[in-house]
A = this chain, B = another copy of it.
C-alpha cells in the first residue's frame, strides 16, 4: 500500500473513530493501518475491506455500516452485540448536545416516510411476509414476534411468551364473554390465547396476508373460529364496539403523524367505558430509529417516547393506570431469537442468501444491544376510559396468586 494511501486511510479511520466517541473499539483497514482508543482493551476489531468502503463509512456511517456489513465488506471480529453496545453508549453520550438535530431529522424522516393505508401495507409486506417458514426457524413455537415476559431470567422463551400473554390479560382483567379488538395481531397467537384461556371474543386486525392466512388456519385447527375473527385490514378500518382495545407491537408501525387517527379509532372502539393496553418499543426521548433499519429492515417504523405515545390517550380524557418498562425482557427475548437464528443460519442462507443472514444478524444483534444499554425501551401502557369501572385496587392480582400459565395448547400439537 503506497504511503499516501496509508496516510489517507489513517486519517479516514480517525474520522470514523470520532463518530463513535470513546467506544473501546479497534478499527482497521484490511492489510492497512488501524486505530484504537489508547489505554483500553478493545471489545472488538472492525475490519474494513478496502479504502472505498472506508470512505463510505465516513460519508454516512449510519446507513453504510449496515450495508457494508451485509455485503461482507466489513467484518466485526469479536462479540458483535458487545461491540454494538459500546458504540451505542458512546454515541449516546456524544448525541446529548446534538439532540435538536436528532429531533429535527426524526421529524423530517417521519414526514417523508409513508404510513398511509397503502404505504403501511407495503411496509408490513416487506417485513412480515418474508415467509412463515423463515420466522418458524427462530421464533418460539407459538410464533410471537414481540417482547416476552420472563418470570425469571432463566425461563424458556416458550414459557416467557405465554407469561407475557397472561401478564397482559391480567392487566386488562379480561372476563369471560367480553369483546376485544386487537390491532396488529401477528400470526394470531395472542388473539387465540385470549379467546382460549379467558373466554373472550376477539376481532383481530393485520395487513400482513401471510400472517392472517396462518392465523385463520390456527383458529380452525383449534376450533376457535367462532370466537376469533381474523381480519386482513388496516387498524384504521376497525369498526364495531368492544370492551377492550389491545395492541401488542403495532404502534411502532403507525408513525407519529397518525397518532391522532389511532386515538380516534380507539375511542370509536371502546368509548369512555372501555379499557386498553398499548405494548410498544419506545425511547427515552424523541429520536429517529436507525436509518439503516428503516431502509433495510423496517420501512415506516417509528419508536416514540412515552410522552409522545401519551398524545394518543390525553385527548380522550383516558386515565393511564399502569406503565411498565420491560426493556430487559426484550433484551432477553432477543438473546433467544439471535441464538436460534445463528443455529439455523445455513437453512436461512439456503432460503435467501448470505447477505440476508448478515443483515438480519446485524438487526437482531443491534436491537439486543439497544435494549441492553437503554437506547430502546419497551412500554406497556394500561389505560381506561373516563367512565370505566372498576379499576385495580392494587397490582397484587398481577403477582400473588396470579393464574398459572396454561398448559401447552392443543393447536400446537395440531401444527407440528
Contacts and interface: CB of A to CB of B under 8 A. Distances in A.
Interface centre among A285, A320, A394 (most CB of B within 10 A): A394
Nearest to A152: B393
Nearest first, the 6 A-B pairs at minimum CB distance are A323-B323, A399-B399, A307-B310, A285-B314, A321-B325, A284-B317
A383 to B, nearest CB: 10
A319 interface: yes
Nearest to A375: B386
Interface in A343-400: 374, 377, 379, 386, 391, 393-396, 398-400
Counting every copy of the chain, the complex holds: 2
B285 A395 contact: no
9 contacts: A284-B386, A305-B314, A307-B314, A319-B327, A319-B374, A322-B323, A322-B324, A328-B391, A396-B399
A96 interface: yes
Contacts of A149: 394
A397 to B, nearest CB: 9
A223 interface: no
Contacts of A305: 310, 314
A386 B374 contact: yes
Contacts of A386: 92, 284, 374
A334 B319 CA distance: 20
Contact of A395 (B152, B320, B399): B399
B284 A318 contact: yes
Interface string A324-337: 11011000000000
A242 B150 CA distance: 32
B153 A393 contact: yes
A112 to B, nearest CB: 24
Interface in A140-163: 149-153
A84 interface: no
A233 to B, nearest CB: 29
A78 interface: no
A325 B325 contact: no
A307 to B, nearest CB: 4
Nearest to A389: B374
A307 B304 CA distance: 13
A385 to B, nearest CB: 9
A315 interface: yes
A152 to B, nearest CB: 8
Contact of A320 (B150, B286, B306): B306
Given A284-B319, A386-B92, A324 B395 contact: yes
A401 B244 CA distance: 32
A59 interface: no
A239 interface: no
Contact of A323 (B286, B320, B399): B320
A377 B317 CA distance: 12
A5 interface: no
A360 B306 CA distance: 37
A175 interface: no
A311 interface: yes
Contacts of A311: 307
A315 B399 contact: no
Contacts of A398: 395, 399
Nearest to A153: B393
A323 B327 CA distance: 15
A99 to B, nearest CB: 8
Given A395-B395, A399-B395, A284 B325 contact: no
